[in-house]
Amino acid sequence: MGPVAVLLLALSSPLQDPSKEDASRTLRLSLRQCLHLALEHNIDLEIARYQPWIEEQNILSAQGAFDHTLYWSASGGESVRKSTNPFDPADIDVHSATSTAGVRRLLPFGLSYDLYFRTDRLNTNQFFASAIQPQWDESLALSLTLPALKGRGEDAQYSAVVIARHTRQAAVERFEKTLIDQLAAVQQAYWDLVFARENLELRRQSEKVAEQLLKENRTKFERGVLARVDVTEAEAGLAAQQESIITAENAVQNAADRLKQMIDPDLLKREAPLVPSDAPRPFDRELDERKTLETSVAEALVERPDYRELASQIAAQDQSILKAANDLLPKFDLVGTGTLSGLDDSFVDANDELRTLDSNGWTIGFSFEWPLEGRAAKGALRRAELERRRLDLQRRSLEDAILMEIRTAVREIKTTEKRIEASRRARALAQERFEGEMSRREAGLRTTFHVLEAERSLTQERTNQLKAVIDYNVALMNLEKATGTLPQRYGIVVEDSLTPRLKGIK
């Protein structure tokens, strides 16, 4: 095999198969495996999972306004005073005790009730006191309060719960956006590592070419058919390739560390090389720019988590406006109470009389309050309405940003498609030029300098072609990120991803 064929074979050989590395130390991962590892071990995602949990507790707290409240109070005392009535003892002694126990609750539509049992015991030595001594007075009462204006209905009473639910949903959407950002970052890091490893292999192939040239030039110099300057140029070319290999090896290590840090920080403690097992997707068909733009925008307005988050915020704000508008109304409550009572000289006898239902009573009435200026309620309503307008403007701005982001992503895909074709032609021309320079060198018409220059140009064009393919895959990913469909692309369910992952966190 001639020297020209040897050099051409070195440059045209396929890139190194990652499987040839030490299998006992190598960690080979596909892109899908990296994404699911990130779901399990990425700390930023774990931090983002907490906010929906926190907002869920706020829902529970808001629902606490409708909890049953059990209460019980008791008191007792004695009073002694001098008598002014000649029929009474000199000192009037009064012993009293009171106990009240009940349960009260506010219902979501505004009605509140208070069901309670009250016991009063009175014992005195006063002559004209009741003939029943001691006196036990028991009563069982139910009190109802129904707002007729302010506080009426679920819009007023249940608004805190509704707002908390919308806020929790907005937190879920924020988590999904963080999830998409992290998935995109992992993909970017994965393809960066693919490029760094392939680029390193290209540099190593160029080094082989430079070594072969140096070997041939030294042989010819020793035979006296080549000048010393050609050996020097070959040595300089080899040194330049070795320097580029050092830089490329560092780039591989940095790219691997970035990917490890994203998918599982514990991998940084291991020295095992991380090898991507997926090759970049080749350019197979041309994108229909107009159709893709139309469908992507429509899809983004349904799938984008930041757009849905804004919708949840608007829904919560609408509820705030309803509550603030209700607070402007005067307070007019209907109040009613029904009572059963019993009176006797012992607790048991008084209770028996109460259960006969013979002693009963009821009251009905209303209470009215109206802040004349109403500045607090007016300010709250205006503030809520202004916030609603601001959210509308934010939605319009976000729609414009989504359109811009999708247009940029689609345009980037089209650009990389053209770059792939252009770099493919440029590589073929560079290959042809290199072969020509090698042939002319063998004929004595070109120096080593010209061959090295052509080889560097060929290596650069091969790198450009590789970068174009990598950028094409990144551009496809950016379009999925812009439409909010990145999790679905890899079968990731957002609600399932809310579950805590990292051990040791309770």
| Per-residue three-class SS string for 158-227 | CHHHHHHHHHHHHHHHHHHHHHHHHHHHHHHHHHHHHHHHHHHHHHHHHHHHHHHHHHHHHHHHHHCCCC
Min mean pLDDT across 103-107, 145-149, 447-451, 469-473 is at 447-451
Number of H-type helices and E-type strands within the chain: 13, 8
pLDDT band, residue 339 (cuts 50/70/90): very high
Min mean pLDDT across 176-190, 411-425, 443-457 is at 443-457
d(C-alpha 471, C-alpha 504), whole Å: 39
Tokens of residue 199, six digits = 């680029």
Residue-wise pLDDT tens digits, 116-175: 999 998 887 665 555 677 888 899 999 999 999 999 988 889 999 999 999 999 999 999
Q: Where in the chain is the domain with CATH 1.20.1600.10?
A: 3-7+26-42+177-312+403-497
pLDDT band, residue 26 (cuts 50/70/90): confident
Looking at this protein, which amino acid is placed at residue 39? L
pLDDT of residue 4: 45
Residue 53 has a CB neighbour count (10 Å cut-off) of 12
Q: Measured in whole angstroms, how far is the alpha carbon of residue 71 from the centre of its chain?
A: 42
Q: Measured in whole angstroms, how far is the alpha carbon of residue 101 from the centre of its chain?
A: 47
pLDDT of residue 504: 46
Look at residue 106 and tell me whether its pLDDT is greater than 60: yes
pLDDT of residue 87: 54
d(C-alpha 307, C-alpha 292), whole Å: 20
Class of domain 3-7+26-42+177-312+403-497 as given by CATH: mainly alpha
Q: Please, which residues have CB within 8 angstroms of residue 258's CB and are 6 or more apart in sequence?
A: 189, 192, 193
Residue-wise pLDDT tens digits, 70-84: 999 999 888 767 666
How do beta strands 274-276 and 27-29 pair?
A: parallel
- Looking at per-residue confidence, does 79 or 377 come out higher? 377
Q: What are phi and psi of 501, to 5 degrees?
A: -115, -45
Look at residue 297 and tell me whether its pLDDT is greater than 90: yes
**Contact, 65 vs 106, CB < 8 A?**
yes
Q: How much of the chain exceeds pLDDT 90, in percent?
A: 60
d(C-alpha 42, C-alpha 35), whole Å: 10
Residue-wise pLDDT tens digits, 201-222: 999 999 998 899 889 889 988 8
Return the CA Rg of the chain.
42
**Contact, 209 vs 434, CB < 8 A?**
no
Residue-wise pLDDT tens digits, 478-500: 999 999 999 998 888 888 888 77
Look at residue 335 and tell me whether its pLDDT is greater than 90: yes
- Looking at per-residue confidence, does 291 or 91 come out higher? 291
Min mean pLDDT across 195-199, 332-336, 348-352, 476-480 is at 348-352
pLDDT of residue 179: 94
Pick the closest to residue 108 from 71, 141, 62, 142 (CA basis): 62
**Contact, 337 vs 377, CB < 8 A?**
no
Looking at this protein, which amino acid is placed at residue 475? A
d(C-alpha 250, C-alpha 193), whole Å: 11
pLDDT band, residue 437 (cuts 50/70/90): confident
Q: Under DSSP, is residue 19 helix (H, G, I), strand (E, B) or coil?
A: helix
Rounded to an integer, the average pLDDT of 270-274 is 83
Looking at this protein, which amino acid is placed at residue 386? L
Strand partners, 247: none
pLDDT of residue 284: 76
pLDDT band, residue 263 (cuts 50/70/90): very high
Min mean pLDDT across 132-136, 325-329, 343-347, 396-400 is at 132-136
Residue-wise pLDDT tens digits, 340-375: 999 888 888 888 888 888 889 999 999 999 988 889
* Mean of all residue pLDDT scores within the chain: 88
Tokens of residue 179, six digits = 């999830």
**Contact, 353 vs 344, CB < 8 A?**
yes
d(C-alpha 490, C-alpha 499), whole Å: 18
